[in-house]
Structures are given as C-alpha cells and as structure tokens.
C-alpha cells in the first residue's frame, strides 16, 4: 500500500479550527477503515480518531472527544478530520493510515506519508 497523503494543516490560534484531509492516489480508500494519528515533538505517535469503511462507525480518544470529528466522502475518496476548539496541546504532525478496525488504532502497514503540521499558538 502506498502512503496516504495528508493536507490542511497550518498555524491557528487557541480556540480555532482546521479541517484536515486524507487522500489515496492509487487505491480505493473507501474499502478501508482509516485512522488519524498525531506525533508531537519528543513524543510517540498516537491515534486520535478512526472511521469505518462505510463511515457508520467512529471512535475517538478522550483528549479529542467532543472537539474533533472524523468523516469521509467515499465518492471523493477522502477522509476528513474536523478539529475545533484547538488547544496548544494539539500541536503535532498529523498522519492518516489504514487501520485494522475502528477500535484498534494500529496501522495495517507501517508506511507513513509526510503528514501535515498543525500548530496551535497565540
């Protein structure tokens, strides 16, 4: 599986919003459960949200629950992460990847794209 492509990051003030996009150029992302991950400087990569292939099931880690929303458009072959009420602690490089299941945020392949940088700062 080639790495997925993330976009939409940037610099935002605390309390602001961003929407990240995850696309696949050479295979049908709609066939896969997908997770969003983030890696802050000096920390291990952590999974933050997941969505089933149909979009009917989602899961979030506690730190982002109620602030982040994962969704997908299987016609456009894209998975989104809407991030609201951003906090400085959300600063990280965000990645997406195919995962085993909504409740199991382990990547199917240890193959990561460049990610997209999210910086929350005043």
Q: How far apart are the first and last CA of the chain?
A: 38
Residue 8: predicted pLDDT: 98
Percent of the chain with pLDDT over 70: 100
Q: Is 42 exposed, middle or buried (0-12, 13-18, 19+ CB in 10 A)?
A: exposed
Residue 26: predicted pLDDT: 82
Three-class secondary structure of residue 10 per DSSP: strand
What's the pLDDT band for 69 if we cut at 50, 70, 90? very high
What's the pLDDT band for 1 if we cut at 50, 70, 90? confident
Q: Distance between CA 56 and CA 38 in Å, rounded?
A: 23
pLDDT in tens, 3-48: 899 999 999 999 999 999 999 988 789 999 999 999 999 999 999 9
Give the burial string for 59-89 (b: 16+ CB within 10 Å, else e).
Answer: bbeeebeeebbbebeeeebbbbbebeebeee
Residue 21: predicted pLDDT: 98
């Amino acid at each position: 599986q080639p790495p997925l492509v993330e976009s939409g990051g940037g610099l935002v003030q605390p309390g602001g919003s961003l929407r990240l996009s995850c696309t696949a150029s050479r295979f049908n992302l709609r066939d896969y459960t997908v997770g969003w991950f983030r890696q802050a400087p000096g920390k291990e990569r952590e999974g933050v949200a997941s969505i089933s292939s149909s979009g009917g099931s989602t899961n979030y880690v506690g730190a982002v629950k109620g602030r982040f929303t994962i969704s997908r458009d299987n016609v456009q072959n894209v998975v989104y992460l809407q991030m609201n009420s951003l906090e400085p602690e959300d600063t990280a490089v965000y990645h997406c990847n195919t995962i085993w299941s909504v409740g199991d945020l382990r990547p199917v392949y240890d193959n990561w794209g460049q990610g997209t940088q999210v910086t929350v700062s005043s």
